[in-house]
Structure 1
Amino acid sequence: MKNMFCILALGVSGLTAQGKSLVDYFLPMEPRGPMIAEGIWGDPNVLPRDIKNGLEDSSLKNWCYWDGRIVKDDAGRFHLYASRWHHSFPHSTGWKENSKGIHAVSDHIMGPYTDKGLVYPQWQNGKGHNVIGLRMQDGRYAVVTSEITQGEVFVSDSPDGPFELLGKIKWEANGFNPGLAAYQGGKGHMSNVKVLLRPDGRYMIVPRSTCVMISDDGILGPYKIMSDRVYKNYPELPQEKNEDPTVWYSGGMYHIVYNHWPSKTSHHFSSVDGISNWKYRGIAFKKEESKIFKYTDGTVNDWQFVERPTAYVDEQSGHVTHFIFSVIDVKKGQDRANDNHASKIVVVPFDGETFDRDMLQIVENEKKEASP
């Protein structure tokens, strides 16, 4: 109920008539293997854990993992496109100096995912961060990188590659502040780029700023900035130090969740058309209060930082069934080179069917209240 009180304090109605917020729809994780507490990295707050969930280098022989999005292929396999850097780098510099785009595969959405190596090794030695994957309108597979690169798209006919550079994302300010799209007032790199293929066939980008960008002409754009930050009309919410937006479409509407990193609090917005009238739906989850990483046996992993959320929408049902998160066991500055700390990607099941039903009911109630 703490989340509900926070929502009411902001003068916003609860997400559902039952007083639930997004975090209440996360489900316990069924372990994909034995729960392990010895011989693996991590502080006691993340032990024991299922090392077969998601993607991790449990022995820390090589990699720290971050970012990612899951894409299902026509054969029913699950592909995770993400980033990694070598364990010989501390977290504070690894993601900037050694991060590369990688491809991992699993027969089950929860994992374990097997690292298959670099996605595009022929381009700048695989350099990439904020890496995500998606299926394009023509059926091809795309991988997108930003933050330490300008904002590039790589494509392949096969989820296993080879991936070739299609080009750099193009965009137009369209009367808005160009800094909404990229660093340095629009002259620098794009960041935190999440690309969504909309049901209407257009491509939609939500970058670090949480503005909405739409392309009518393919995945490379040009994208036009169509809105300011989704939280701009809510001055009671933090207006700075927000990052890591994720965007998805389910249940007939669009959703954005982003993270205010100083407070480790993520906020949830929804819109019917995915461009305008973004409405605040309350705290999505808060690290100090939300127990997202709970197993079916009651064990809870309390990761120190929970970032880069990404929703997986099942193509057949149209509902979110899982979220993935980038997590680290200690404060980032405490993860040093060749130590016993690291980051991984965790997959958490989500009751998207109930969530969408409840969201639709809220929208219907709002329409009734607004009608004369």
Structure 2
Amino acid sequence: MIALTRSLYEKLLPAPKNGGFRMEGYWVWCGSVIKGEDGRFHMFASRWPKHLPFHPGWLVASEIVRAVSDTPEGPYEFQEVVFPARGAEYWDGRSSHNPHITKHGDTYVLYYMGSTSPLPDVAPGESLGLSDPRTIVARANKRIGVATAKSVFGPWERKDAPVMPTRPGKFDSFLTSNPAPCIHEDGSVLLIYKARRYEGNVHGKMTIGAARADHYLGPYRVVSEEPVFPPSEFHLEDPFIWKTEQGYELIAKDMDGNICGEKHAGIHAYSANGLDWKLFDHPKAYSRVVRWDDGSTTTMGSFERPFLLFQDGRPTHLFAATADGPGGFQNAENTWNMVIPIAP
């Protein structure tokens, strides 16, 4: 293990209570932020209407939107729908989710998860549960894709096929999602992603895979035939990675709390090659317990999809999708993307 002078968790400052991004009438999730060519901060996020349950509504009706703020803290103002539904015949035609915005040279690169289904939309007032055929089909069709644009305002060019399809008989045979890319200076990519194995009517345990590409448009090749975090020891999702002088660092959601000591808090790990990961001496990266700038403290019902904004080579803000309530998606009344400043 490596000891840090101060852990990421210790550098988290009070969060602006009125910061981040939320929308009336929508569930909001998956905030990913970049500074645009206009000097403002642009958040790419997921949203879906509140006439659907939070979970599994995102599987059938999520769309990626863009919001903007003059400061990283926000509040962010809705600007446009970036990826609306585009038809069941497309691999991402019914749902787009998990946006991760980055840039290489003069090109903005947007990674995301897409899904499709030939089944009818869920009408307002109609129920939708985990055993609904629309949910099952949408979950089985989750794949990772990439879109590009020369401006943060678009237009965006979506690929007509996912860059990370599933592989029969492998740990990612059922779905791929939660893309966490690191684009290098030469345009090559290390992509960490969430996967599940197909196990019939039983959802396999979430695992974390690694793939590489010589260019961000692909093709991508899986570089480890086993998950890079052994499922027997690690139960993780929502990875985020970045390049360092020593290799790579990663934060991710600790599903059980067995690693960092708090369920659904974050872990912090490092790797020389992106395949062999080790925990830092103090592996806790963030907590569901949030300190606000008005002096209050709240234990959030959810605190997920971590994203770090880097400025001048260092992380300055942690973004996270959050929910109120006592915990559990079914108990949330409101969700939004919040932001926590990080001390130098």
Give the TM-score of the pair, scaled to structure 1. Answer: 0.70
The separation in 1 between residues aligned to 2:227 and 2:301, in whole angstroms, is: 27
State the match for 1:294 in structure 2. 291
Amino acid at match of 2:310: V
The separation in 1 between residues aligned to 2:177 and 2:48, in whole angstroms, is: 18
Q: What is the Cα deviation at residue 147 of structure 1?
A: 5.8
Give the TM-score of the pair, scaled to structure 2. Answer: 0.75
* Fraction of identical pairs, as percent: 24
Map 1:78-117 onto structure 2 (within 5 A): 78-117=41-80
Q: What is the Cα deviation at residue 305 of structure 1?
A: 1.2
Question: What secondary structure is seen at the aligned counterpart in 1 of 2:300?
Answer: coil
Map 1:307-322 onto structure 2 (within 5 A): 307-314=304-311, 317-322=312-317
For residues 221 and 278 of structure 1, do their structure 2 counterparts lie closer, same or farther at Cα, with a shift above 3 Å needed? same
1:145 to 95, 108, 112: 112
Deviations 1:234-269 (A, max 9, x none): 96xx434x2111111245541111213243232211
Structure 1 alignment gaps of length 5 or more? 1-11, 32-49, 354-372
Contact 1:250 1:319 in 2 (8 A): no
1:254 to 248, 255, 263: 248
Residue correspondences, number:
292
The separation in 2 between residues aligned to 1:326 and 1:105, in whole angstroms, is: 16
Structure 2 alignment gaps of length 5 or more? 88-92, 116-141, 195-206, 257-262
Contact 1:101 1:126 in 2 (8 A): no
For residues 98 and 171 of structure 1, do their structure 2 counterparts lie closer, same or farther at Cα, with a shift above 3 Å needed? closer
Amino acid at match of 2:108: Y
Map 1:53-132 onto structure 2 (within 5 A): 53-57=19-23, 60=24, 62-121=25-84, 123-124=86-87, 127-132=95-100
Amino acid at match of 1:129: H
Map 1:1-372 onto structure 2 (within 5 A): 12=1, 15-16=3-4, 20-29=6-15, 31=16, 50-51=17-18, 53-57=19-23, 60=24, 62-121=25-84, 123-124=86-87, 127-135=95-103, 137-146=104-113, 148=115, 149-170=142-163, 179-180=170-171, 182=172, 185=173, 188-208=174-194, 209-216=207-214, 218-227=215-224, 228-232=226-230, 238-240=233-235, 242-250=236-244, 252-262=246-256, 263-273=263-273, 275-281=274-280, 282-285=282-285, 287=287, 291=289, 293-314=290-311, 317-330=312-325, 331-335=327-331, 341-351=333-343, 353=344
Higher Rg of the two aligned structures = 1
Amino acid at match of 1:256: L
The separation in 2 between residues aligned to 1:157 and 1:264, in whole angstroms, is: 36
Amino acid at match of 1:191: S
**Larger helix share, 1 or 2:** 1
